[in-house]
Structure 1
Amino acid sequence: MELRQIQYFIEVAKLEHVTEASYVLHVAQSAVSRQIFKLEAELGVDLFVRDGRKVRLTPIGKMFLGHMERALEVIEKAQQEIEDFLDPQRGTVKIGFPSSLASHMLPMVISAFRERYPNVQFQLQHGSYRELIDSVAKGSLNLALIGPVPKGGKQINGDTLFLEKIVALLPASHPLADRPTLKLSQLRGDMFVLFPEGFVLRDLVIDACEAQGFEPKISFEGDDIDAIKGLVAAGLGITLLPEIALNDNIPRSTVKIHFEDPQVTRTVGIITPASRELPPTEKLFYDFIKTFFVSVGKFNHE
């Protein structure tokens, strides 16, 4: 069984069409057909059922596809690690991130890193708070930016990069919209627009309010930061968001106001696996990002 046969098989299985697979693979249709035939002959089973110009997997073909996709992932990962080892400054960094860090922090850090290491490539993977932690713990990622930084995990290590303020976003028509600062208790009677249950930013807001002696009344929920901003802009409630999420992107008809009492914050940092060594290129980025935030003193996004 050859690597080329596996690659051809997976592409045909995905597209269910030999000709279309040959276009994607940039080889002749006859070459794809020949390698699939050789693979079936070697295995002694039919992997596909021919249906005119299209093909579809047999039951044993579906089982074989799952194994081959996992095998190819292992091979590609091994190839990447060897490339990184030979030249860390030409490798690839695969990093996860949440939506709240996508618009400003992540591009800023990658831009600064690539000024020094222009040949390093990046693969970016968006995920929720718990998805990112799970991905690093299980091995599909080695690095993820996250906020707040989780504590006490046995499978991951967390490094805090900076402390970020949580601010209020109010409709411009709100009675407190002209205040320079707010006390969180002043929002006791307002309707809140929050993330759904299971989102860490929802928990952060609820915990902060409960510490001030009240439970926020929730008018709407949204699992997207832009949607939440839009609901606030429409006058359907107020919200609390990380200031990074509002950097250079405050919707019209809304105002951003800092808290004076208490100051609501979250830690922002990077998580790595506790039991695995980072590949050389990702170790290069990990060391860079820690030094980067030390050198700037604090994260200034005004």
Structure 2
Amino acid sequence: MDFRQIQYFIEVANREHVTDAANALHVAQSAVSRQIFNLESELGVDLFIREGRNVRLTPIGKRFLVHMEEAIKIIENAKREVEEYLDPEKGTIRIGFPSSLAAYTLPTAISAFRELHPEVKFQLRQGTYHGLIESVIKGEMDMALIAPLPKREKKVKGDILFMERIVALLPSNHPLAGQRSLKLSELREDSFVLFPRGYILREMVVNACQEVGFAPEVSFEGEDIDAIKGLVSAGLGVTLVPEITLIDSLPRSTVKLQISEPRVDRTVGVIIPNDRGLLPTEQLFYEFLKKFFTRLGGFDNHF
């Protein structure tokens, strides 16, 4: 069993089609079929059930896939570790982030880092709060920017980079639009535009509203911060968003108001796995992030 056989097997297993796998691998279909046949012959079991041009894994094939995907990760990490020890300035950093940090926070940090280390590469993955934590635990990501920083997750550790203020975003024709700030309780009769259940920003908004005695009526939901801002812009409700997501410009026909009571904010931090060390390039960026936001004095006073 060699590395090529494992690669071909995983590609066919995920696509359930030999031709599609061959196209993705940029090799002839006959080459993929031959490697799969050799692998099955070596193992002495059928890994796939053939159904015309399609294939699907046998029960033992499914178990074999799990082990082979883990093996590929180990091999790739070992190769990266060797390459980075030879030259940490040319390594690759895999980092996850939520949509609320995608437009400004992460690009600003990466841009500043690459001025110092121009040959370092990044693999970026956007995800949900709990998905980002899980990807770091599983080793799919080296680290993740996250907000708020988790307090009770023992499999990751991290550092707070800055405190982020949460503000109200209202349609410009809203009765409170002319004010400079508002009390959250003044929005108790409004319809809200929020992330779906399970998203951490929704939990924060709901908890803040409950703190002042009401449960927000959610009229629309969006899985992306820009979609939520767009719905408010269309006059379909109000929302609370991290102030940093409005740093470049306000959506048309909206106003931003500070929340005077209660103050709503969240920690923004970076998490890394607790059970394994960072590779040299990863450590370089991790230490840079902590110093970078310290020099900025946090974003809390940056507006």
Alignment CA distance shift 1:3-1:257 (3 Å):
same
Cα separation, 1, equivalents of 2:91 and 2:36:
32
Task: Name the SS for the 1:270 alignment partner.
Answer: strand
1:242, 1:192 → 2: CA distance?
Answer: 15
Task: Tell whether the 8 Å contact from 2:193 to 2:222 is kept in structure 1 after alignment.
Answer: no
Q: Write the deviation string for residues 181-228 of structure 1: whole angstroms up to 9, x where unpaired.
A: 2233333333322223332212222332333x3214313241422332
Structure 2 residue ranges without an equivalent (≥5): none
Moved more, 118-127 or 92-101: 118-127
Secondary structure at the residue paired with 1:192? strand
In 1: Cα distance, 2:268 partner to 2:235 partner: 30
Q: Per-residue displacement from partner, 1:221-257 (whole Å, max 9, x unpaired)? A: 4142233223322323211110122232532111111
In structure 2, the partner of 1:84 is 84
SS for the counterpart of 2:157 is: strand
Q: 2 CA distance for matches of 1:210 and 1:274?
A: 34
Q: Distance in 1 between matches of 2:101 and 2:18?
A: 42
Which residue pairs with 1:177 in the alignment?
177
Q: 1:15 to 1:201 in 2, by over 3 A?
A: closer
Corresponding position of 1:217: 216
**TM-aligned CA distance change 1:17 to 1:203, over 3 Å:** closer
Shift, 1:143, TM fit: 0.9
Give CA-to-partner distance per residue, 1:2-55, whole Å, 9 cap, x none: 111222233334445545544433444444343333323222234445566x25
Q: Is the 8 A contact 2:18 2:55 kept in 1?
A: no
Match of 1:162 in 2: 162
CA distance in 1, matches of 2:209, 2:2: 60
Identity of aligned residues (%): 59
TM-score, L = length of structure 2: 0.88
Q: 1:248-287 maps to which residues of 2 (within 5 A)?
A: 248-287=248-287
- Whether contact under 8 Å (1:244, 1:301) holds in the other structure is no
Residue matched to 1:97: 97
| Aligned residue number for residue 228 of structure 1 | 228
Query: Is the alpha carbon distance of 1:165 and 1:58 closer, same or farther for their aligned partners in structure 2, counting shifts above 3 Å?
Result: closer
Runs of 4+ residues over 6 Å off in structure 1: none
The 1:281–1:173 alpha-carbon spacing in structure 2 relative to 1, beyond 3 Å, is same
Residues 151 and 158, structure 1, Cα contact 8 Å, conserved in 2: no
Cα separation, 2, equivalents of 1:151 and 1:179: 36
Aligned-pair CA distance for 1:90:
1.0
**Is 1:109–1:289's contact at 8 Å kept on the other side of the alignment?**
yes
Deviation at 1:265, TM superposition (A): 1.4
Partner of 1:207: 207
Whether the aligned pair in 2 keeps the contact of 1:157 and 1:274 (CA below 8 Å) is yes
Q: What SS does structure 2 have at the residue aligned with 1:78?
A: helix
Return 5+ residue gaps in structure 1 as ranges.
none
Which residue number corresponds to residue 113 of structure 2? Answer: 113
Structure 1 residues 164 and 21, CA gap change in structure 2 (3 angstroms) = closer
Q: Give per-residue Cα distances to partners, 1:42-94, cap 9 Å, x unaligned.
A: 22234445566x25245144443333223222211221222222222111111
1:25/1:200 CA distance change after superposition, 3 Å: closer
Query: Is residue 13–residue 57 contact of structure 2 (8 Å, CA) maintained in 1?
Result: no
For this pair of structures, how many residues does the alignment match? 300
Q: How far apart, CA to CA, are the structure 2 residues paired with 1:87 and 1:295?
A: 27
Structure 1 residues 136-183: Cα deviation after superposition (integer angstroms, max 9, x where no partner): 334333311111112243222231111111111001111111222223
* Contact 1:192 1:216 (C-alpha < 8 Å) held by counterparts: no
CA distance in 2: counterparts of 1:35 and 1:153, whole angstroms: 42
Name the CA distance, whole Å, in 2 between partners of 1:188 and 1:22: 57
Distance 2:36 2:151 in 1: 50
After superposition, the Cα gap between the structure-2 partners of 1:238 and 1:12, relative to the gap in structure 1 and judged at 3 Å, is closer
Shift of 1:106: 1.1
In 1, the alpha carbon distance for the partners of 2:20 and 2:205 equals: 50
Measured in 1, the distance between the counterparts of 2:16 and 2:274 equals: 41
Does structure 1 conserve the Cα–Cα contact (< 8 Å) formed by 2:206 and 2:216? no
Q: 2:24 aligns to what?
A: 24
